[in-house]
Structure 1
Amino acid sequence: MTEIAWIASYPKAGNTWLRFMLTAYLNDGPVTSIDQLQTAVPDLHKMLGGGETLPVGDGAGRLLAKTHFLPDVGLMRLYREQTTKAVYLIRNPRDVMLSAMRHMGIPRTDLESCRRFAEDFIANEGHSFWRDHFGQGSWTTNVRSWTDRDAIRTHFPNIEVLPVKYEDMRADPAGWLRRILEFLDLGRPLGDDVIDKAVANSTFEVMRDLERRSALDAPGFSPFGGQGEFVGKGLHNQSLDFIGPDVEAAYRRRAQGDGDFAACLREFGYERG
């Protein structure tokens, strides 16, 4: 039976960057096309857009696949028995918010649009459209549903989950790629030279270059989906003050409150950021 290992996250948490590193590792070279990325670590959302789903046949081996879905989404039930592992990426929701703004083509100079987006994100603990139309829940729900051991095993009884903070991966990409590969157990060499090469072939500059070259036939749209640039600079611990101090204050009130959002931030060390 094919075993599935999910590369899972709330959107804009570093999923594509990790897919690049895994693809570079598996192919022992840089990612040269979006199709190559999709072959090595297929994006379930892109497959659905093309009328496809992941194979669930009797083939051997482990299939890596990307998802932003909550584990209780109906489609994910197709993979209940095949799912054995998940690497779950977690990123500071403030940085998720700002990355999503850029990806949706909202420039920082358009303060009114930035304000509307930020206020929606803060009020809903995530992007309300992703929650209501894409089965991804709020940031809090997505994180909890994948990282709470008892909760995730109600959907995938055979699963092991490795939570990975985006900020830790940024600080030590080679070290964390090694830990991820050891967890995934893909049966390939894990020498320092192999891992360092995969990291070097997956820098943000490399990803941006592929995005620009792949988008030439569709100006204004990213080959990774959406409007605006998908690949940013990987910034973290950013502020919302540029939109307005009241917006930053509203976020801090939510982050320091008594709700599950604040509790989740504390659990993963984001209460100060």
Structure 2
Amino acid sequence: MAKQIILVASYPKSGNTWVRLVLQGLMHADRAGDLNALDGAFYGQQRRNLFDELAPAKASDLTAEEIDDFLPSVNTSMTSLMESPAIVKTHELARRNRAGAWMYAPEQVKAVLHVVRHPFDVAVSFAHHMGWTVEQAVVQMGSAFRFSSQDYKLSLPFPEAVGTWSENVLGWTGPDQPYRCITVRYEDLLLDSMSLFRSIAHFAEFVFTETDLQRSVTAASFDKLRSLEESKGFRERPASSPQFFRSGKAFSWEGKLPEDLQRRICKRHAEAMQRFGYLVDGTTTPNG
């Protein structure tokens, strides 16, 4: 089976969209920086529609666990419908279903591009994205939650097993996961975009020139994306969020995340923060 999937994996609000936009620009020069040309492969409503076409039962008739039973085979079938390589967004854990099958067959996955971000910034950005208070976001980051966890009706996208922030970010780099995986920190992407995106693209075995890379990175700059969202909208923005591209900076948590919530995050996620070089004062170690 050909390796056709490039998974861009992250906890929500960690830079997933930015990475996919740069890769899209490398694959299709005419789509560089085009928000609404992003292929939402296997995600959201598109994922549900394809599931309903390919599975033996409709998602609305199944529980989340039953959906998981079918997903590995459905994902395999979905892949054949996409251009190769298919750039696939996921906020899910690296996980298996109850039969022991990985949600994405390892023999189909060419690479996992794993993006992490300081949990202080994630909390503030996630709250803005979901229309929550910052405290609600911190609680969710410490809970093994699913999006769409209570209602699987036709109007909603799939239930998505995100897990805790720690489970999510550690799982993709754990000893049991079967994929080729490169991890990059959002903060490092901000500091040295060209170098890090070059490493990501080489890892995913893209063929490109420096001119291609510069064009794609420039087209996906935060200011340009925010301007495009304001003028043309962005289909991945949920109704709960006034703006998808909010800040795009490190330390956006300052003045918005109270000290008691900072301490709660550090206590709950100490192991994962240490693993990725995230310090209790909201900064990062130089080399992750």
TM-score tier, shorter chain, comes to 0.7 to 0.9
On the 8 A contact 1:131/1:137 being kept in 2, the answer is no
Offset, 1:73: 5.0
The aligned residue for residue 88 of structure 1 is: 114
Match of 1:32 in 2: 34
Query: 5 Å matches for 1:119-268?
Result: 119-121=138-140, 124-125=141-142, 128=145, 130=147, 134-148=160-174, 150-153=175-178, 159-186=179-206, 188-189=207-208, 191-215=209-233, 223-226=235-238, 227-228=240-241, 229-239=243-253, 241-242=255-256, 247-255=258-266, 257=267, 261-268=269-276
Distance 1:267 1:87, change over 3 A: same
CA deviations over 1:141-192 (Å, ceiling 9, x no partner): 01111011x2212xxxxx2100010000011111111000110002x22x22
Which 4+ stretches in 1 moved above 3 angstroms?
49-54, 56-61, 73-76, 126-133, 238-243
How many residue pairs match? The answer is: 241
Partner residue, 1:45: 44
In 2, the alpha carbon distance for the partners of 1:225 and 1:127 equals 23
Q: Which runs of 5+ in 1 are unaligned?
A: 107-112, 154-158, 216-221
- C-alpha displacement of 1:58: 9.9
Deviation string, structure 1 residues 61-89 (Cα, Å, up to 9, x no partner): 53221111112154953534312310100
The 3 A distance-change label for structure 1 pair 119 and 96 is closer
Is residue 2:83 matched to residue 1:64?
no
Deviation track 1:6-48 (CA, whole Å, cap 9, x = no partner) reads: 11111110000111111122212433351x211xx63533422
Give the superposition deviation at 1:240: 5.9
- Measured after TM superposition, the shift of residue 131 of structure 1 is 9.7
Match for 2:199: what amino acid? R
Q: Aligned Cα RMSD in Å? A: 2.8
Pairwise CA distance, 1:204: 1.3
Contact 2:114 2:172 in 1 (8 A): yes
Change (3 A) 1:164 1:238: same
- Is the contact between residue 147 and residue 160 of structure 2 (CA under 8 Å) also seen in structure 1? yes
Give the TM-score normalised by the residue count of structure 2: 0.73
Gaps of 5+ in 2: 52-73, 150-158, 283-288
Distance 1:206 1:248, change over 3 A: same
TM-score with structure 1 setting the length: 0.77
Question: How many Å separate the matches in 1 of 2:251 and 2:102?
Answer: 33
Q: Partners of 1:131 and 1:138 in 2: how far apart?
A: 16
Residue aligning to 1:156: none
Q: 1:73-109, CA deviations, whole angstroms, 9 ceiling, x for partnerless residues? A: 5495353431231010000111111111221245xxx
2: CA distance, partners of 1:195 / 1:12: 23
Distance 1:104 1:182 in 2: 34
- SS of 1:147 mapped into structure 2: coil
Q: Are the aligned partners of 1:8 and 1:87 in contact in 2 as well (CA < 8 Å)?
A: yes
